[in-house]
Chain A
Amino acid sequence: MPFEELSHTADWSLRIWAADLTQLFAESARGMNALTGTKLAESPRVQRTFSASAEDAESLLVSFLSELVFFAEQETLAFDRIELKIDAREGQSCTLSATLSGANILSLNKSIKAVTFHNMQIHQTERGYEVDIVFDV
């Protein structure tokens, strides 16, 4: 799994890494599902699409994950197949379009209140792109 839980006194924190930005976003979503212990129903499968824009990649990541928090809370939906198109160029606003495939949430251990910007910085390392995310729970 290209993510690991970091120690945080009160909330939850994940470190995620991936070869490129698109995979980093998708792995962040998977990491969030793993943290919450989300289990999906086998059927029926559902699909959702959405798009977002933000002033930088970090803001876009928060928007994307916040959308998933909203789907989980309001529609009891989570997604295990995520297709993303991301356009993020230095100094320009970033855009994302997502096609999400998933199902109803059968059970989850914990809900996430919000995705925070705390110390968030997408940066490049030897293993590609990396980011730490703190979730308010």
Chain B
Amino acid sequence: MIRIQDLKRISDFEWEIPQSLRGDMRGPVRIFGTRKLLEQILGDKSLEQAVNASTLPGLVGAVVVMPDMHQGYGFPIGGVAATRFPHGVVSPGAIGYDINCGVRLLASSIEMEAALPHLDRLATLLNQYCPSGVGVKGVVHVNVPELDRLMRAGSRWALKNGYARENDLTRTEENGCMEGADPAEVSARAKTRGLDQIGSVGAGNHFVEVDLVESILDPETAAVFGLQQGCLAVQIHCGSRGLGHQVCTDYVQDFQSAVKRYGIELPDRELVCAPMDSPEGQAYLGAMRAAANYAFVNRQLIAFSARRAFEETFAGKLKNWQLIQVYDICHNMGKIETHAVDGKQVKVCIHRKGATRAFGPGTPGLPPEFQQTGQPVLIPGSMGTASWVLAGTETSMLRSWGSSCHGAGRTMSRSQAKHDFRGDVLRRELEGRGIKIRAGSMSGLAEEAPEAYKDVDSVVETVVAAGIVRKVARLRPLVVVKG
């Protein structure tokens, strides 16, 4: 059990668990959080999990955890770890089952006042065109050879097939395609699960949301991102569906024996890993990238469906109803990146699990328009609460492996939330505040009660005060569609 006295205070917003805490640690753990958030974090096992993550072979520097962190399985949610390329390990469990779960933000010039009379219809059409919920199929069905092409090309597949615009791709992390994807390393079972789920939201905390851009904190950056105060925006939160879950399941199972072959000892079997340059590591990287590309296409198809709903709602009623992509970011991902370590540029594999890439100004790989501003960092709040658009900073490159938080972060178990809240009551409360809800499951709604999460504003204030991001805009929900 880790206690607050085990932590070294670096600043009001940054703390460290020294490597000396446990003999098997290969680096320290750096925590971004206020004392109050830390006290919440100490209520579960997330810091133990962060310490466990620091035992990964080939670890470089510190394991970093964000203020929205909470207990996961193996690796904490809100964690970032870097391992040396190419001999260090890659760990499927440190990336997660929902490979390339992420958030896409679309902006519009639709003013809220003009949209209000049409929001009910918009909510219904979004619910109809963006399939969500348990066991629900997607909007596109493909055969296995086509699925392989989709997994190789990512968003380029969507562009070729008429589901994307050119600037959707330039405004997607990695341009919507992880190079090195290898569908041959994706099992037949994973492909079976993926065939008919493309373009579906799924269940749990995944959603499609229409927001109001309530306030702009940095007008110049907001203009670059395409956000206008008082106008509508759309957030899409989902990942690689059953295909990604199966890829992770397959490789966590396979790596149980790989760790023995490579003489790797770990405190938790869910952290199993293999050297990146081993056949096992290469196979996982190829499969993980293929699943990541599937997720890019998935969010692209949901964006396509959202545009269809917007067109049917607003065309002929408003002049400009188009949805323009702000950015699409991943928060469960493994990527080979170059970072400054002890004054040298070092190639590492960054494992982000429930953490968002937050590259600062001038970082290679960002589209030209974000070179001055840093990349958009999208932080959805819990259901019914605010969301934030932030921008990456130079400090994030130095302190947090170019990463930031990914949401509010749960504090309450799902069973406790279901015990304490009722979905129908919650729905009435949210609708009383003017938020249109389309939800397939009332118990699912109860699990996502805002009180089950940390206060997203406090989480954002912490990462901003730590300097790893800066505020650009705050969004308020108008329509929530979820399974």
A62 within 8 A of B: yes
Q: Are B415 and A5 in contact (CB under 8 A)?
A: yes
CA of A52 to CA of B246, assembled, Å: 16
Binds B, one of A23-31, A70-78, A82-90: A70-78
Q: Are B245 and A9 in contact (CB under 8 A)?
A: no
Q: Are A115 and B249 in contact (CB under 8 A)?
A: yes
* Most B-side CB within 10 Å, residue of A108, A111, A120, A134: A111
Q: Please provide the chain A residues from 51 to 102 with a CB less than 8 Å away from any CB of chain B in the complex.
A: 54-55, 58-59, 62-63, 66, 70, 72-74, 76
CA of A137 to CA of B270, assembled, Å: 16
Number of B residues, CB within 8 Å of A = 42
Residue of B nearest to A76 (CB): B135
Inside 8 A of B249's CB, which chain A residues have their CB?
Answer: 66, 114-115
Inside 8 A of A59's CB, which chain B residues have their CB?
Answer: 253, 256
Inside 8 A of A117's CB, which chain B residues have their CB?
Answer: 73-74, 93, 252, 256, 268-270, 272
CA of A137 to CA of B204, assembled, Å: 7
Inside 8 A of A113's CB, which chain B residues have their CB?
Answer: 97-98, 204, 242, 245
Inside 8 A of A136's CB, which chain B residues have their CB?
Answer: 73, 96-98, 245
Q: Are B410 and A111 in contact (CB under 8 A)?
A: no
CA of A108 to CA of B443, assembled, Å: 11
Q: Please provide the chain B residues from 242 to 280 with a CB less than 8 Å away from any CB of chain A in the complex.
A: 242, 245-246, 248-249, 252-253, 256-257, 268-270, 272
A11 within 8 A of B: yes
Residue of A nearest to B71 (CB): A9
CA of A119 to CA of B75, assembled, Å: 11
Q: How far is the CB of B248 from chain A (nearest CB, A)?
A: 6
Q: How far is the CB of A23 from chain B (nearest CB, A)?
A: 23
Inside 8 A of B97's CB, which chain A residues have their CB?
Answer: 113-114, 116, 136
A: interface residue count bin = 35 or more
Q: How far is the CB of B98 from chain A (nearest CB, A)?
A: 7
Known: A58-B269, A116-B270, A136-B97. A9 touches B189 (CB 8 A): no
Contact with A along B59-74 (1 / 0, CB 8 A): 0000000000011111
Residue of B nearest to A105 (CB): B135
Q: Please provide the chain B residues from 203 to 255 with a CB less than 8 Å away from any CB of chain A in the complex.
A: 203-204, 242, 245-246, 248-249, 252-253
Q: How far is the CB of A57 from chain B (nearest CB, A)?
A: 12
CA of A117 to CA of B441, assembled, Å: 28
Could you say which of B242, B246, B412 contacts A9, with CB atoms under 8 Å apart?
B412
Residue of B nearest to A120 (CB): B269
Contact with A along B388-431 (1 / 0, CB 8 A): 00000000000000000000001111111000000000000000
CA of A9 to CA of B245, assembled, Å: 20
Q: How far is the CB of A103 from chain B (nearest CB, A)?
A: 15
Q: How far is the CB of A90 from chain B (nearest CB, A)?
A: 16
Q: How far is the CB of A8 from chain B (nearest CB, A)?
A: 6
Known: A73-B193, A110-B134, A116-B74. A9 touches B272 (CB 8 A): no
Inside 8 A of A76's CB, which chain B residues have their CB?
Answer: 135
Contact with B along A1-29 (1 / 0, CB 8 A): 00001011111100000000000000000
Inside 8 A of A5's CB, which chain B residues have their CB?
Answer: 415
Q: Are A110 and B203 in contact (CB under 8 A)?
A: yes
CA of A10 to CA of B44, assembled, Å: 10
B77 within 8 A of A: yes
Q: Are A7 and B413 in contact (CB under 8 A)?
A: yes
CA of A7 to CA of B253, assembled, Å: 25
Q: Please provide the chain B residues from 97 to 133 with a CB less than 8 Å away from any CB of chain A in the complex.
A: 97-98
Inside 8 A of B93's CB, which chain A residues have their CB?
Answer: 116-117
Q: Are B410 and A73 in contact (CB under 8 A)?
A: no
* Most A-side CB within 10 Å, residue of B73, B97, B249, B443: B73
Q: Are A74 and B411 in contact (CB under 8 A)?
A: no
Residue of B nearest to A58 (CB): B269
Inside 8 A of B248's CB, which chain A residues have their CB?
Answer: 114
A127 within 8 A of B: no
Q: Are A9 and B203 in contact (CB under 8 A)?
A: no
Q: Are B245 and A114 in contact (CB under 8 A)?
A: yes
Q: Are B443 and A9 in contact (CB under 8 A)?
A: no
CA of A48 to CA of B458, assembled, Å: 51
Task: Please give me the 9 A-B residue pairs with the lowest Cβ-Cβ distance, nearest first.
Answer: A118-B73, A117-B269, A116-B73, A118-B270, A114-B97, A9-B71, A111-B134, A113-B245, A9-B70
Where the two chains meet, the residues of B that have a C-beta atom closer than 8 Å to any C-beta of A are: 44, 46, 70-74, 77, 93, 96-98, 134-135, 189, 192-193, 203-204, 242, 245-246, 248-249, 252-253, 256-257, 268-270, 272, 410-416, 441, 443-444
Pairs across A and B, CB under 8 Å, 29 listed: A8-B413, A9-B71, A9-B411, A11-B414, A54-B253, A59-B256, A63-B253, A70-B189, A70-B193, A73-B193, A74-B192, A76-B135, A109-B441, A109-B443, A109-B444, A110-B134, A110-B441, A110-B444, A114-B248, A116-B74, A116-B97, A117-B268, A117-B269, A118-B74, A118-B269, A119-B269, A136-B73, A136-B98, A137-B204
A113-B204, A117-B252 are known contacts; what are 11 more A-B pairs with Cβ within 8 Å? A7-B413, A8-B413, A10-B410, A12-B415, A59-B256, A70-B189, A70-B246, A109-B134, A113-B97, A115-B249, A116-B270
